Amino acid sequence: MKDKFFTGKNAELTIEGKTYPLPIIEGTEGERAIDIRDLRKDTGYITLDSGYMNTGSCASGITYLEGSQGILNYRGYAIEELAENCSFVEVAYLLLHGYLPTYDELRHFSYLLGRFALIHEDMIHFFDHFPPNAAPMAILSSMVNSLSNFYPEMTENPLEDIDIIATRLISKVRTIAAFTYKKSMGWPLVYPRHDLTYCANFLNMMFDSPVKPYEINPDVVSALNKILILHADHEQNCSTSAVRLVGSARVNLYASISAGISALWGPLHGGANQAVVAMLEDIYASDGDYEKYIKKAKDPNDPFRLVGFGHRVYKSHDPRSRIIKKACDEVLVTLKVSDPLLDIAKELEEVALNDEYFLERGLYPNVDFYSGIIYRAIGIPSNMFTVMFALGRLPGWIAHWKEMWDDPNWRISRPRQVYVGPEHRPFIPMEDRVEEDHEEPDIY
């Protein structure tokens, strides 16, 4: 990496009167980094960067994200063009291979998705041993981890046929997700069909019933395709970093993805769209007085924050929000949904798009705000929202795991730390110990 992207320039770091050159690296979109991989070896120092907000953990060719301008590209393609023109399966292929598939390549990839759609019948019995109200993400993480026992051949040479390992996982996770919902409701399982597309198949497994056959609506299928595309990858976020970190120990793909699912489960990461619906329910319970909550959000002394507005990375519009807002509007019109929570959501959206307070701070409705509304409109319960996020993010996780496995600069992830605990102290035998006041160390 140093030879290919080294700019020929160095930054300089002076420590105790001695100056050290640090190579400056520039990516293909102009993003620059100071290469500190030899810092500790050369200087004896490390850097301290809580949350890794200023630390690049790898060089990646998968996703480019530029927050100040609201840019998101997969493999060089703008997210707007992909969402408008591609299916989720096409985008999954793109992320895995680095290029858009031909007709024959897509047909073969889709064939594999259909071939691997079923899960082993023994796995179905696993569902019976989870508590009735088990969290769907806990079930998903456990089931994915167990796949390595059913398909151990995938751990021997995982990159020998990436299409097989990827389609096996992408297809089976879809089935596991739908079965998780059916089991939680106590309803009979609906098995996948070979005559349906990826998203239509998922919706049919979720909602078809012996007493009321599910009618597949093309507008709902289109909206679901868009949501999954928009969630397919997002650079080195918490869950993707977890996949890479766990995978760096050379564990199998299933265990790495299970770790990503667990990370995504966090309410500060994948739980945002579920939190949006919870917030709307709270407002509805307060007689629908959304204006009161707008005032609370503007009050600097009130800890309340509107969920689903603004983004940690995007400082202008989240490019995904424009796409999903359009899909959301189309779905609500098509389904003619009457839902007081959706009415409150529209009121909040109208305020945020026109109120100077929100505009000045870049607090636009984001992808989580709209995705939760769409999911609710098509009948997906809020406890399944994060599972839907995982379903979309899966191709990105696999692509990052593959990229890490292929990386000639691969190293097992092993962050350092700055120790702030007690200095060395002598051991005291039990009979000589007295009760003391203990102070927690200052962590900064």
Q: Give start-end residues of each CATH 2.20.28.60 domain in the chain.
A: 2-66
pLDDT of residue 142: 96
Q: Which of 166, 63, 157 is nearest to 395 (CA)?
A: 166
CA–CA distance from 14 to each of 20, 34, 39, 43, 150 (Å)?
A: 6, 14, 12, 10, 55
Q: Is 368 a catalytic residue?
A: yes
DSSP run (H or E) holding 78: strand 77-78
**Regions of the chain where pLDDT drops below 50:** 1-2
Compute the distance between CA of residue 219 and CA of residue 334 in angstroms, rounded to an integer: 7
pLDDT of residue 1: 43
Compute the distance between CA of residue 231 and CA of residue 394 in angstroms, rounded to an integer: 9
CATH architecture of 76-413: Orthogonal Bundle (1.10)
Compute the distance between CA of residue 159 and CA of residue 163 in angstroms, rounded to an integer: 9
pLDDT of residue 3: 57
pLDDT of residue 309: 85
pLDDT of residue 183: 93
pLDDT of residue 152: 78
pLDDT of residue 193: 95
pLDDT of residue 372: 87
Q: Give start-end residues of each CATH 1.10.580.10 domain in the chain.
A: 76-413
CATH entry 2.20.28.60 includes domain 2-66 = yes
CA–CA distance from 230 to each of 99, 132, 215, 397 (Å)?
A: 17, 32, 25, 14
Q: Is 329 a catalytic residue?
A: no
Compute the distance between CA of residue 341 and CA of residue 347 in angstroms, rounded to an integer: 10
- pTM exceeds cut of 0.85: yes
Q: Which of 1, 41, 39 is nearest to 22 (CA)?
A: 39
Catalytic residue (choose from 368, 400, 424, 438): 368
Catalytic residue (choose from 231, 311, 318, 400): 311
pLDDT of residue 259: 97
